[in-house]
Amino acid sequence: MAGLQPVRGTHDLLPDDSRRHRHVEDTAFQLVRRYGYGEIVTPIFEFTEVFARTLGETSDVVTKEMYTFSMKEGESITLRPEGTAGVARAFISNGLAQSLPLKLFYRGPMFRHERPQKGRQRQFHQVGVEFLGVADPLADIETVSMGFRFLEALGLGDKVTLELNTLGDQESREAYRNALIAYLDPFRSGLSEESRARLDKNPLRVLDSKDEGDKKIVAAAPLMTDCLTPSAKDYFDQLCQGLTDIGVPFTVNPRLVRGLDYYCHTAFEFTTTALGAQGTVLAGGRYDGLIGQMGGPATPGIGWAAGVERLSMLVGDIAATDRPVAIVPMGNAPQAMVLADRLRAAGISVELGFSGNMKKRMARADKADARAVVILGEDEMARGAATVRDLDSGSQTEVALDRLTEHLLAR
């Protein structure tokens, strides 16, 4: 029955999967805390306008991929396809302009109706950061390098490549827009229908086209770097020098763009070849015009988001950090329960064997990756003691029950 299967594009996180996910999320949170970030939790659905404004009315996400619902009151709500819009909305609706600068971290599920593939689901998870209130290359250097340090902390520093580009300031973007239209217009009839529509509304988005014919046309298009103002060029030069100074390797990719008008200056992606075609694992950029476009005060911002599923695939298996102690009662189960409760109250993880012979119980302890087994035999119990077997060294010793907690905490 279809109802007994997960919905296409969703998946269950079983304990091993969940441990990898939690490792990625917790590594991100512990890392960004060193940079002064606090966690923000926004709703998983917002009024549709929040995303339509921020992602662009003509973007693929808005036109094809959002999960949107009509409420009884006639309002349209959407499951969040990304995290930045919700954070920007929260900034405005909670009146946080007086608290600038703000450093905010988020994590949680996102939703996009797209074709499921390796590392990409319709319900997926992200961790992300938003740094609001500072319009300075130093903020960009810190934010980009923080993304690299996060990937390093996961052991992925040598598996990713940082691709970097500048989108310039408003004057640079306007000059580039005009140059791009002048180049593309003679090829209008050869562009895909979607790119022809974008050419008039948002020509930079033609550069993102996946159509093979469009790609050939775009290959010789002018570059943003050809249209930079001196101040925009200086901004980018400071970013590149700053990353070099702190040892963050990068390559400049002049074709890396963001199509919406509120993006400016820095755009970056961390990519890998280990996941096939879908190689981006963390991406971000500067968006100084976003909050103003949403109706809030003009507020500079920069941030990034990373896909937890993709990073989990790269990280691989994660061993449990809190290995339990297995209690194997050989006849006195009630006393074993009392002992297990006492050990748990002291902060020790306990796996209690309920049934089966000694061989089966020991096998379960091994499967649980227990660090030790406490054997409660009738003879030991009569002496007020238990046998403790260290499963790493194989050593075995008898320990008085009133010293058992102390003994296990010391190991």
Annotated binding residues for L-histidine, as ranges? 82-84, 112, 126, 130, 258, 262-263
Helices then strands, counting H and E runs in the chain, come out as: 15, 16
Amino acid at 338: V
Q: Which two tokens stand for residue 101?
A: 């600068």
Nearest one of 148, 351, 157, 368 to 242, comparing CA atoms:
148
Point out the annotated binding site: 82-84, 112, 126, 130, 258, 262-263
Helix residue spans in 36-83 (DSSP H): 48-55, 60
Report the distance separating Cα 390 and Cα 401, nearest Å.
16
Contacts of residue 227, defined as CB under 8 A and 6 or more positions apart, other chains included, come to 168, 172, 175, 176, 179
> Maximum distance among all alpha carbons in the chain?
94
Is the four-CA dihedral 270, 168, 253, 259 of positive or negative sign? positive
**How buried is residue 211: exposed, middle or buried, by Cβ count under 10 Å (0-12/13-18/19+)?**
middle
Contacts of residue 327, defined as CB under 8 A and 6 or more positions apart, other chains included, come to 336, 339, 340, 343, 350, 351, 352, 353, 373, 374, 376
Q: Which two tokens stand for residue 7?
A: 């919905």
Phi, psi of 83 (to 5 degrees): -100, -25
Report the distance separating Cα 243 and Cα 236, nearest Å.
11
